[in-house]
Amino acid sequence: MVKGNDIETVTLEEWGADIYPKLSWFKQNKVSSAHIMVVGCGALGNEVIKNLALFGVGNLVLVDFDTCEFSNLTRSILFNSDDAQKHRYKVEAAAESIKRINPNINVKTIVGDISYSVGLGLIRQMNAVVGCVDNRWARYCLNRLCMRAGVPWVDGGLNALEGVAKVFIPGKNCYACTLEPSALAELKRSTSCAVAIKRNQESGRVPTTPVVASIIGAVQAQEAMKLIHKEELESGELTSLCGKMFCYDGQYMSVRLISHQAWDDDCPVHENWSPIVKSPLNNLNTVEEVLSWLKKKFSTDHVEIVLRNHSWVDFIEDRESGKIYNVMLPEAEVPAFIESDEVLRSKPMGQFYQHTIRNINSDFKDKDLTLSQLGIPEMEVLYVRTQNEEKYVELRVGSEELGILVQTRGEPS
């Protein structure tokens, strides 16, 4: 017991000590030292986070770009009316609630979008990722990141009285491979520009109830707990849902397990980004500084950062009038730029030509911009191309590391 401010709390090691050891597979040290990321803090995310906190998972990362609204309160145990009144970020309200359950849990919150706001270096630290998202594009991005990082992930989906849960383990099962070619083609078509992605996400919302969210969220949390217990899974003491789909139908009270496995060797998503080159760089360094470190590190003048998750838009052109609008923003921020301009937002999307930069090299004009200004998150892994090789260079966490770089600037470590 820990006593502080007259409140008695238990440590993570003591958490559930009276009951969980009675489960043959439950290993307290694995659970209290585990790192799990939950992407999406809606109805499903609330249930998953609550269950992981009750199990005493030691380290949680919560990702969501949204704020709490009154309409969320019907199915979100971690939010209250004050959160909705103040439109607090969902990740912050959720983090505060689970801290009240167990103050010893480390919680990191990211207000952002899984398709571009979360560094691969952070995902690489996870034992498992739980996806509680409501659209195909977010699942596709999450799957791609987990493949690159070599981390298993658990998917959940709700639709009215029905729900499904699935597990994807790199090397065994892949979300993109389970999609029909027509669905993949549709995904590519509908995500060809940032404005379309946003509109697509907003139109994909489905009605959910707290009951279905509880059932599917519980299955997802259970599967994440199994993934923490890797040795018990490998020995057969635990059995993963990987390769099957858990389907619940609340209307007809049916629960089915359907075979759901696909691994096509030609799938372009099956990249594993390794080996990782650790660097003293972070996303507050300028393009100039990063390029110069990379050149020295790899002993070549030919280095290029390929923006695999992010694109830089320097201008858009109105095809009809030929008028150029200087943008200078990450592609993800272009929709807000268009929406904020009265003239631009009144025109159809197809009317604009968007000039996008995906390769940052010595020719890049704005080398005094920081990686963060280019939209690159902290702990991202940069995809770097030299003359004849590809390198995966991991950035450190944000600002507090800058001092280290100043000392070692120009000296490859």
Interface residue list for Zn ion (CB under 5 A): 174, 176-177, 267, 269
Q: In angstroms, what is the minimal distance from the CB of 261 to Zn ion?
A: 11
Q: What is the DSSP string of 31-98?
A: HHT-EEEEE--SHHHHHHHHHHHHHT-SEEEEE---B--GGGGGG-TT--HHHHHTT-BHHHHHHHHH
* Beta carbon of residue 153, minimum distance to Zn ion (angstroms, whole number): 13
177 versus 381: smaller Cβ distance to Zn ion: 177
CB atoms near residue 148 (< 10 Å): 23
Which of 144, 197, 141 is CA-nearest to residue 333?
A: 197
Q: How far apart are CB 264 and Zn ion at their closest, in Å?
A: 6
Closest to Zn ion by CB, 268 or 410: 268
DSSP H or E segment with residue 258: strand 254-259
Structure-token pair, residue 385: 């191309």
Cβ-in-10-Å burial (0-12, 13-18, 19+) of 288 comes to middle
Beta-carbon contacts of residue 288 (< 8 Å; ≥ 6 apart): 367, 368
Nearest distance from residue 265's CB to Zn ion, in Å? 9
Closer to Zn ion by CB, 169 or 174: give it.
Answer: 174
How are beta strands 7-9 and 35-39 bridged, if at all?
unpaired
Cβ closest to Zn ion, residue 179 vs residue 213: 179
Judged by CB, which is closer to Zn ion: 264, or 411? 264
What CA–CA distance (Å, rounded) separates 20 from 12? Answer: 12
Which CB atom, from 133 or from 334, has the smaller least distance to Zn ion? 133
3-class SS of residue 297? helix
- 174 vs 195 by CB, closer to Zn ion: 174
**Nearest approach, Cβ of residue 207 and Zn ion (Å):** 30
Residue 191: Cβ-neighbour burial (10 angstroms; 0-12, 13-18, 19+): middle
Q: How far is the CB of 144 from Zn ion (least distance, A)?
A: 9
* Least gap, CB of 260 to Zn ion (angstroms): 13
